[in-house]
Amino acid sequence: MGQAREVMDRLTEALTTKPDLKVVAELYAEDAVALTPDAGEIHGRDNIVEYWRQMTEAVPEARFESVYAYESGDTAIDEGVFSGRNTGPLQLPDGQSLPATQKEIRIRGVDLATVRDGRIVSYRLYFDQMDFLDQLGLLVEEPA
């Protein structure tokens, strides 16, 4: 197992098993960049940690079931299923928040982490945001 795989596994554990944002912060380079479907491009460790704080607050007892785990050079790639119950507020990109729905979610996604000198410098997360919102019951149904 290489460094990228080890860092990705530590990130997954810090976000799911028992959320630990201090560990999350240690895993990202100060000038890291993350790309997410819900928050777009996030620049800098502090902003990325804030993104994860909001996610772990919204789904504090999340689980991640790995389907595939790869490593290619300095990049680790995971495909899996993120699941849990929404028991905390959901932060919206415009700064507003929605109260917890108490609904269970189960979202398949892929994330990629490029690691240099033991820290993530580039992180990309892909999941179906519409499916996520639908499972939370947040999509407005159109009249028939």
Going residue by residue through the chain, which has 144 residues, state the pLDDT in tens, using 9 for 90 and above: 799 999 999 999 999 978 899 999 999 999 999 999 989 999 999 999 999 999 999 999 999 999 999 999 999 999 999 999 999 999 887 888 999 999 999 999 999 999 999 999 999 999 999 999 999 998 877 666
Tokens of 40: 């777009």
SS3 assignment, position 15: helix
Specify the amino acid at residue 86. N
DSSP labels for 37-100? TTTEEEESHHHHHHHHHHHHHHSTT-EEEEEEEEEETTEEEEEEEEEEE--SPEEPTTS-EE--
Taking the CA atoms of residue 88, residue 34, residue 108 and residue 24 in that order, the dihedral angle to the nearest 10 degrees is -60
Closest CA to 7 of 57, 76, 110: 76
pLDDT of residue 17: 77
Closest CA to 105 of 82, 87, 125: 82
